């Protein structure tokens, strides 16, 4: 095992439901069960504090995993007891071998 890829992450996913017009909408997060999605490398991202509009902080991380991950943009990710939204697209970084190919995801969480 690599010392870099040593952070266990979990995925939260909700079932898609239909609204009264027949449109697909995300279901309730209340019943979402965490599912282990392997060991990841976690890199510090930005931390922004918006004191003018409200007292709060946005925390971001970039996480990487060897190979492909069972994630979609509407999922949420649990790391170290905190729940993060997926920010933007889930990226695939191909490499010359499977050991150098990665899934890359930006995580974002607002505090306060």
Residue 41 CA to residue 93 CA, distance in Å, equals 14
Q: How many domains does the chain have?
A: 1
Residue 71 CA to residue 101 CA, distance in Å, equals 16
pLDDT of residue 80: 93
> What domain range is 102 assigned to?
7-111
Secondary structure in 3-state letters for 16-69: EEECCCCCEEECCHHHCCCEEEEEEEEEEEEEEECCCCCCCEEEEEEEEEECCC
CATH number at residue 69: 2.40.10
pLDDT of residue 1: 44
- Chunked in runs of 10, what are the mean pLDDT values of the chain (112 residues)? 79 90 87 94 77 74 94 95 95 90 94 76
């Amino acid at each position: 095992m690599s010392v870099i890829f040593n952070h266990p992450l979990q995925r939260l996913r909700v079932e898609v439901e239909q609204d009264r017009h027949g449109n697909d909408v995300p279901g309730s997060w209340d019943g979402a069960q965490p599912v282990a999605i392997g060991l990841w490398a976690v890199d510090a991202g930005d931390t922004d504090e918006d004191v003018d509009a409200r007292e709060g902080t946005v925390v971001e991380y970039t996480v990487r995993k060897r190979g492909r991950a069972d994630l979609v943009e509407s999922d949420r990710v649990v790391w170290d007891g905190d729940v993060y939204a997926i920010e933007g697209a889930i990226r695939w970084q191909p490499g010359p071998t499977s050991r150098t190919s990665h899934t890359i995801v930006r995580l974002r969480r607002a505090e306060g």
